[in-house]
Amino acid sequence: MSRIFSGVQPTGDLHLGNYLGAIRNFVGLQADFECIYCVVDMHAITVWQDPKQLAPHTREVAAAFIASGIDPENSIIFNQSQVTAHAELAWVFNCVARMGWLNRMTQFKEKAGKQRENASVGLYVYPNLMAADILAYKATHVPVGEDQKQHLELTRDIAIKFNNDFETDCFPVVEPLIFGEATRVMSLRDGTKKMSKSDPSEYSRINLTDGADDIASKIRKAKTDPGELPGPEALAADGLHVEGEAEKARPEAFNLLSIYAALSGQSMAVTLEQFAGAQFSAFKGELADLSVAKLGPIGEEMQRLMASPDHVDAVLRDGAERAAVIAAPVIKEVHEIVGFLGS
Ligand code: AQP
């Protein structure tokens, strides 16, 4: 059976982008794959995290996984720092990956920004740890949002170089799984920036734990433009996606429409047909109702789970034990291949 690995960082309030770009897709994969879903707390500390908040944030991601429909009996849910294989393999990959490869990573450039000299070394080698997360389990498929595609390509490069350098077929070449509508959800305040946990504006994102009033008010205040809603004429020749120039001209409008399409489960073409020529005020009302209907039950279940931290911690402990059993022979194999004495 093919194996899935994916992770979410416990860096703050989980939002609609994390849900539509990642967590929602994790749920459906359980029927066809052996799934390992990780709360990547070691990735989180590549930028400063308040130690008092890291554990509650870790539980929040685990709660979001379970509340969204990931079954901890079948799938493995755990936090990364409980399984030492991630750090061990990441060191080996630090010695396989090339500086030139990491220098090309756009996420580092975006996150480090003008503070490059002051960024942590961990942030720079973040993609090597991500490769270790995936390959410690020899996962074959990785569901990610569009924004993580470049890191996944680096994982493939590391696997290929490791196999070539050591003349082995130890690691599989992983495939990204990128899903349908709204794989990149943008900020509600600026349609050119991705919706993100670390955006200082609460109004830039819909949190999974937001109540109905907050969801409605954030959508009501979402940035739009003075026009009416576009129709199917905005579609590209493939009839499926929005044409690039049209999207660039009205990023906020298309972001809200693609959120509607993703939450309703209908295509962008049908959504454009439905709202062609409508006023934003009417559309926003429908989007708010749909968002509350889809996210409300998940948020309530998350709150219920987070009120029982012992239960969530037990799920994470059990998952870590099961994950460690899968990773142990892979680490042993890597030690032997590299030539470490005492393997
Ligand atoms: N805006 C987004 N649209 C679609 N998918 C998204 N993801 C994140 N933001 C969006 C997907 O969520 C998964 C988990 O992301 P992460 O928490 O590991 O890291 P991130 O991509 O850095 O997420 P954030 O929210 O932007 O966090 P911060 O602010 O801490 O950096 C990934 O699969 C990602 O693609």
- CATH number where 237 lies: 1.10.240.10
Which of the residues 114, 161, 193, 197 is marked catalytic?
197
Contact between 130 and 151 (Cβ < 8 Å):
yes
Listed range (15-29, 142-156, 254-268, 293-307) with the worst mean pLDDT: 142-156
Give yes or no: residues 297 and 328 share one domain.
Answer: no
The pLDDT value recorded for residue 177 is 87
Which is the catalytic residue, given 114, 161, 194, 223? 194
Task: Please provide residue 242's backbone torsions phi and psi, each rounded to the nearest 5 degrees.
Answer: -75, 140
Q: How confident is the model at residue 179 (pLDDT cuts 50, 70, 90)?
A: confident
Q: Is the pLDDT of residue 88 over 70?
A: yes
- Give pLDDT, residue 182: 56
Question: Which residues form the pocket of ligand 1, taking CB atoms under 6 Å from any ligand atom?
Answer: 7-9, 11, 17-18, 21-22, 144-145, 147-148, 183-185, 194-198
Confidence of residue 180 (pLDDT cuts 50, 70, 90): low
Contact 212, 292 (CB under 8 A): yes
Task: Give the structural domain span for 230.
Answer: 202-305
CA-CA distance, 194 to 191, in Å (whole number)?
7
190 in a structural domain: no
Residue type, 182: A
Q: Are residues 267 and 126 in the same domain?
A: no
Beta strands in the chain (DSSP E): 3-8, 34-39, 76-79, 141-143, 175-177
**Catalytic residue status for 284:** no
Q: At 222, is the pLDDT very low, low, confident or very high (cuts 50, 70, 90)?
A: very high
The reported pTM is: 0.93
Residue with tokens 């991601």: 61
For the chain, how many structural domains are there in total?
2
State how far the Cα of 343 lies from the Cα of 157, in Å rounded to an integer: 26
Return the H-helix or E-strand segment holding 304. Answer: helix 280-306
At residue 1, the pLDDT reads: 65
pLDDT: which is higher, 59 or 243: 59
Residue 236 domain-assigned? Answer: yes
Active-site annotation holds for 193: no
Q: Is residue 115 in some structural domain?
A: yes
| Structural contact between residues 30 and 76, judged by C-beta atoms closer than 8 angstroms | no
